[in-house]
A and B are shown apart, each in its own frame.
Chain A
Amino acid sequence: GQQVMQIPQYQHVQEGEDFTTYCNSSTTLSNIQWYKQRPGGHPVFLIQLVKSGEVKKQKRLTFQFGEAKKNSSLHITATQTTDVGTYFCAGPRNNNDMRFGAGTRLTVKP
């Protein structure tokens, strides 16, 4: 079945450095979603990408969906301590069941 693989598992950066997490699927995805989970919290929706090659920005966050709709990335420019948390991508295995990647845990050293 479809699996969503996410790398890296952990990333530690100095405040001000950039950060990128990557998501790859073995099959074509109809869409991909990104979530952020703060330590001790619950996943919070960030964005959904649907179109091939789509790029969306939210302030310092840039989301991309690959041309083949099998991969995606989240890039954070100039990280801040408020960016700390685990970032998950999620893709549907069939039509409606969102399966989550393992997540990338980001820590930021001030």
Chain B
Amino acid sequence: DAGVIQSPRHEVTEMGQEVTLRCKPISGHDYLFWYRQTMMRGLELLIYFNNNVPIDDSGMPEDRFSAKMPNASFSTLKIQPSEPRDSAVYFCASSFRNTEAFFGQGTRLTVV
């Protein structure tokens, strides 16, 4: 397996634009997590899914953020409209029965 795959690796967008981050978890994993990492706030859990169902989205900062998992092999995190304070590295991670989490390479988002 190629591991957790995230795209794009880097994204630069203008304030107000819609941004969509994508994640393909490891096949067979039943948990998927979206994290955001910044120097100020560290690694924050935004939302997680179990068997494609969102379980806890209390970490999603605002209504501008939304996440979906239409099937077991794909998830998206969307920001609309984007703001400069959304600039961060966004990680997707997956795990099987919530044991060790495997992280993707991350998407470095810059909103100017």
Chain A contacts to B: CB under 8 angstroms? 33, 35, 42-45, 48, 88, 90, 92, 94-103
Complex Cα–Cα for A101 and B37 (A): 12
Q: Nearest chain-B residue to A100 (Cβ)?
A: B43
Among B35, B42, B98, B100, contact of A45 (Cβ-Cβ < 8 Å): B100
The answer to whether B33 and A98 have CB atoms under 8 Å apart is yes
Question: Is chain B's binding surface mostly helix, strand, loop or mixed?
Answer: strand
The answer to whether A45 and B101 have CB atoms under 8 Å apart is yes
User: A-B contact count, CB below 8 Å?
Assistant: 47
| Given A48-B100, A96-B98; 10 other pairs, CB 8 A cutoff | A43-B43, A43-B93, A45-B101, A88-B43, A96-B31, A96-B48, A97-B48, A100-B35, A100-B43, A101-B42
* Closest 6 pairs (CB-CB, A-B): A45-B100, A100-B43, A42-B103, A96-B98, A102-B42, A43-B103
Chain B contacts to A: CB under 8 angstroms? 31, 33, 35, 42-43, 45, 48, 50, 55-56, 91, 93, 98-106
The answer to whether A94 and B56 have CB atoms under 8 Å apart is yes
The answer to whether A45 and B43 have CB atoms under 8 Å apart is no
Question: Is chain A's binding surface mostly helix, strand, loop or mixed?
Answer: strand
The answer to whether B55 and A97 have CB atoms under 8 Å apart is yes
Q: Which of A44, A95, A96, A101 has the most CB of B within 10 A?
A: A96
Complex Cα–Cα for A35 and B35 (A): 14
CB-CB < 8 A to B104: which residues of A?
A: 42
